[in-house]
Each structure stands twice: as structure tokens, then as C-alpha cells.
């Protein structure tokens, strides 16, 4: 049966968009489950506690090395310390050193553990993977019933994957859905990304505005206090100079009131100006309505990308730390070259890019296609010209 539980254990959870799984069960039940899981752990012996502090591969402990960091690989979820990862996997893929595992692991897939319990980590990874593909929303369905049915199916798949039931079969279903809905998946993913961006932007704006309000309030308070003080002094002075107490008091109050109103009017004008300025800059309204359904309208101010949207990607190779070839080694040793700023690794990179530049370019096909397009464009051009000529001949009635 499907599990509607959603693990929300350690405070390190990263909130990213919506995770597939939708309507969760009552929190209390969920909480108990989690507590039970944690309890299982804490009921473990001292030995286990120590075990979490020692790298299973090199046996170095946190007691001796305070900055020891553990990494885990989603291939087999075995964890080991950072230096072991460096040592073992820097030169390329290698088998997992945990005895009886031996699966081939890659360095770039290692990452830090987010949850204490590795089982939870694994489950969360699986859920993330599933959610990335099954990202349909409530609006995409005719009615609530259909939506919940869909969620049920998704949870079935997830459960199977987590518990290791019929994995091959389930994977096939997974792939099938992915292939069939690739376009929608992409669209939904983009929408989610947009929303996230505008959400963080909104938060920023909100925070900024809140800060401004706070400061404005504080300033006002200061002003008021100062004015009150001034006024009081003024009143005292007048009283001292023998004016009528009542009138002076009333005057004083009126003056204070007027000053306050003036100040508030000025502040209001400032706010309006600022809002106008903000509006010009941010294109967003002065109000930030919470909970409003985010529209997919692109924000006019995107974060600055220093690379201007251009990304160079190495798809056939990755630069290694060093190359044994003597050409490289000799160049590295030559002080005249290195002191001048010549970096031989730039040359290595250049050579490797050159080695594969065009490997996947099928000249005959692409050239033929290009010529074809050229011809078509010409044909279209002449066709339009024809039409144009005909139009001239047309006579306007009226």
C-alpha cells in the first residue's frame, strides 16, 4: 500500500519546490514514525556512536582530526572521509573500498550527507529523483480525484524503488512515463524554477521593505521624542515668560500635532517616491501579497550572469590534475616559461578540446542540410517577390 509519510527529520532539510507525494498524512503519526527511527539509532550502543565518528576506510577519527568531513556516494551509500575520497578516486573511477561492495564509484558523485540516517538519505534521494520526473500539478488534472489517483501511482512507484520491490519492472514504468511526458516535465521544471526565483526575490523585497519600515518607525520615534522635548522646553520657556498656561498648553499640543502630521506627510511622500523608484527598478508593485499564486511572468530583472549566458562545456573529456607526458613535465620545469605566466595546463586543455572539436559533426549531412536550407530560403524569397508583383497590379476600388 502506499505510504503517505513524508520524512521531515533533521533541521538540515532543504526546501526545494514541491516534492512529489502531495497530501501528507497527519503530522502526529509522521512524527512518531520519525521518532521511532531516531530512537532506534540512539538506542544503539556507544560503539555505534563512536562508529559514526570514524572513517570506515582509513579509521581516522574525529577525535584526532576535528575537521574530518564525511562524504557519501549515492551509488551504494557507503560513507567515507574526504581524504579517502581524494586519495582513492582522484585518478579516475575505482571500486568502493568497503569490503563486499566493490561497485565502481566516481569522484564527482560524492557529496555530503544531509540526514543522519543513511536510509533516510537514500529515500530522500529517490524521492527527489521521482519528483523531478513526476512533477505534474493539481491544475493539470480534471478533478481532485484524478490528481489523488496520480499521486497514489507515484507513491507506488516510489515505494517500490525504496523497498527494492520489482525494481526492474518499476524502472521500466518510470522510464516509460519519462519518455512519454518529456515536454511537460521540462515545462513544469522551468515553471518551478521561475517560481523559486520570484519567491526568493519576493522574500528579499519583503525583508528589505520590512527593514525600511522598521527604520522609518524608529526614526519617527526619535523625531517625536526630540520634538516633544523641544516643545516641552518651549512651553516651559513661555510659561516662564508669563504667558497663559492653558493657551500655551493648547498651543504646544497643536504645534506638536502639526509637526507630527507634517512629518508623516513628508515620510509618506518619500515612501511614494521610493515606491516609484522601486517600481522602475524592480518592475514589481509596492505590495507583496502573501500566498498569491505565482505567475509565470518572467521577472524583468534577472540576476546578473557575468558570463552573459555563454557556457563552454567539455563533453568529451575532463582536465586531469597532471599529465605524465614529458612535454608537459618539461614545460612545467622551465622557469623562464612559468615565471612569464605561461601555464602549460592551458595548452593541455587546448589540445584536448582540439582532439574532440568536431568529433560529432557529420560534415556530409550537415553540409547537405545547410545547402538545402539555403535553396529553400531562396525559393521562398522569390515566391514572396512574385506575390508582391501581383499586388502592385491590383487596383483599389473606392
Residue ranges in 62-121 that form contacts with other proteins under rule CB under 8 A: 91-95, 104, 106-108
Q: Is 362 a residue that touches other proteins (CB under 8 A)?
A: yes
Separation in Å, CA 245 to CA 241, 250, 256, 266: 11, 9, 16, 31
Between 149 and 301, name the residue whose CB sits nearer to other proteins: 301
Q: Which stretch binds other proteins (CB under 8 A): 142-150, 189-197, 224-232, 363-371?
A: 363-371
Q: Which stretch binds other proteins (CB under 8 A): 38-46, 117-125, 190-198, 342-350?
A: 342-350
**Spatial distance between the Cα atoms of 171 and 352, rounded to a whole number of angstroms:** 36
- Minimum CB separation from other proteins for residue 291, in Å? 28
Using the minimum distance from each CB to other proteins, give the nearer residue, 33 or 299: 299
Residue from the set 5, 68, 189, 352 that interacts with other proteins by CB under 8 A: 352
Q: List binders of other proteins among 145-174 (CB under 8 A).
A: none
Q: Is 371 in the site for other proteins (CB under 8 A)?
A: yes
Contacts by 5-11, CB closer than 8 A, 24 or more apart: 5/29, 5/30, 5/33, 6/30, 7/34, 7/115, 7/120, 7/123, 7/124, 8/34, 9/34, 9/37, 9/38, 9/115, 9/116, 9/117, 9/120, 10/114, 10/115, 10/116
Q: Which residue among 190, 272, 296, 357 contacts other proteins (CB under 8 A)?
A: 357
Give the C-alpha separation, 300 to 282, whole Å: 7
Residue 186 near other proteins by CB under 8 A: no
230 or 371: CB nearest other proteins: 371
CB of 359 to other proteins, least distance (A): 4
Q: CA 141, CA 22: separation in Å to the nearest integer?
A: 14
Span of 27-35, 120-128, 271-279, 360-368 interacting with other proteins by CB under 8 A:
360-368
| Rounded least distance, CB 267 to other proteins, Å | 24
The grid coordinates of residue 260 equal: 507630527
Q: Rule CB under 8 A: is residue 367 a binding residue for other proteins? A: yes
Question: Please, which residue, 63 or 316, has the CB nearer to other proteins?
Answer: 316
Stretch that binds other proteins, among 9-17, 35-43, 182-190, 367-375 (CB under 8 A): 367-375
CB environment 223-234: b (16+ within 10 A), e (fewer): eeeebeeebeeb
User: For residues 145 and 311, which CB has a smaller minimum distance to other proteins in the complex?
Assistant: 311
Q: What distances in angstroms separate CA 193 from CA 17, 294, 398, one per listed residue?
A: 8, 11, 56
Count of residues that bind other proteins according to CB under 8 A: 71
DSSP per position, 315-369: SS----S----HHHHHHHH-HHHHHTT--HHHHHHHHHHHHHTTTT--HHHHHHH
Name the residue nearer to other proteins (CB basis): 291 or 309: 309
Rounded distance between C-alpha atoms, residue 216 and residue 210, angstroms: 10
The Cα–Cα gap between 113 and 106 comes to 16
> What DSSP character marks residue 115?
S
The least CB distance from residue 196 to other proteins, in Å, is: 17
The three-point CA angle 11-14-17 to 5° equals 140
Stretch that binds other proteins, among 59-67, 235-243, 289-297, 350-358 (CB under 8 A): 350-358
Q: How far separated are the first and last CA of the chain, in Å rounded?
A: 77
Q: Which of 178, 225, 295, 342 binds other proteins (CB under 8 A)?
A: 342
Binding mask 299-338 for other proteins (x = CB under 8 A): -xxxxxxxxxxxxxxxxxxxxx--xxx-xx-xx--xxxxx
Binding span for other proteins by CB under 8 A among 77-85, 215-223, 264-272, 362-370: 362-370
Place of cell 573529456: 317
Amino acid at each position: 500500500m502506499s505510504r503517505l509519510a513524508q520524512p521531515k527529520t533533521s533541521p538540515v532539510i532543504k526546501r526545494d519546490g514541491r516534492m512529489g507525494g502531495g497530501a501528507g498524512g497527519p503530522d502526529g503519526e509522521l512524527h512518531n514514525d520519525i521518532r521511532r527511527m531516531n530512537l532506534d539509532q540512539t538506542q544503539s550502543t556507544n560503539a555505534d556512536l563512536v562508529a559514526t565518528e570514524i572513517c570506515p576506510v582509513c579509521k581516522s577519527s574525529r577525535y584526532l582530526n576535528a575537521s574530518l568531513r564525511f562524504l557519501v556516494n549515492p551509488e551504494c551509500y557507503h560513507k567515507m572521509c574526504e581524504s579517502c575520497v581524494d586519495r582513492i578516486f582522484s585518478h579516475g573511477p575505482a571500486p568502493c573500498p568497503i569490503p563486499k561492495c566493490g561497485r565502481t564509484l566516481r569522484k564527482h558523485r560524492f557529496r555530503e550527507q544531509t540526514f543522519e540516517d543513511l536510509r533516510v538519505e537514500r529515500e530522500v534521494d529517490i524521492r527527489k529523483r521521482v519528483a523531478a520526473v513526476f512533477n505534474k500539478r493539481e491544475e493539470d488534472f480534471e478533478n481532485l480525484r484524478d490528481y489523488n489517483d496520480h499521486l497514489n501511482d507515484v507513491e507506488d512507484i516510489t515505494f517500490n524503488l525504496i523497498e527494492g520491490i520489482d525494481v526492474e519492472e518499476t524502472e521500466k514504468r518510470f522510464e516509460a512515463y519519462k519518455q512519454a511526458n518529456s515536454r511537460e516535465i521540462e515545462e513544469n521544471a522551468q515553471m518551478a524554477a521561475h517560481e523559486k526565483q520570484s519567491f526568493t526575490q519576493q522574500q528579499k523585497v519583503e525583508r528589505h521593505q520590512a527593514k525600511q519600515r522598521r527604520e522609518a518607525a524608529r526614526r519617527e520615534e526619535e523625531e517625536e521624542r526630540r520634538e516633544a522635548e523641544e516643545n516641552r522646553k518651549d512651553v516651559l520657556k513661555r510659561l516662564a515668560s508669563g504667558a497663559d498656561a492653558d493657551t500655551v498648553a493648547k498651543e504646544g499640543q497643536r504645534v506638536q500635532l502639526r509637526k507630527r502630521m507634517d512629518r508623516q506627510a513628508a515620510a509618506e511622500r518619500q515612501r511614494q517616491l521610493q515606491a516609484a523608484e522601486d517600481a522602475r527598478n524592480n518592475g514589481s508593485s509596492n505590495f507583496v501579497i502573501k500566498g498569491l499564486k505565482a505567475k509565470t511572468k518572467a521577472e524583468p530583472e534577472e540576476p546578473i550572469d557575468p558570463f552573459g549566458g555563454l557556457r563552454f562545456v567539455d563533453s568529451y573529456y575532463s582536465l586531469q590534475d597532471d599529465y605524465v607526458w614529458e612535454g608537459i613535465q618539461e614545460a612545467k620545469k622551465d622557469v623562464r616559461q612559468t615565471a612569464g605566466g605561461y601555464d602549460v595546463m592551458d595548452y593541455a586543455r587546448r589540445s584536448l578540446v582540439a582532439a574532440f572539436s568536431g568529433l560529432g559533426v557529420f560534415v556530409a549531412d550537415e553540409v547537405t542540410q545547410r545547402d538545402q536550407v539555403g535553396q529553400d530560403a531562396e525559393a521562398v524569397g522569390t515566391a514572396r517577390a512574385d506575390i508582391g508583383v501581383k499586388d502592385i497590379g491590383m487596383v483599389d476600388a473606392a
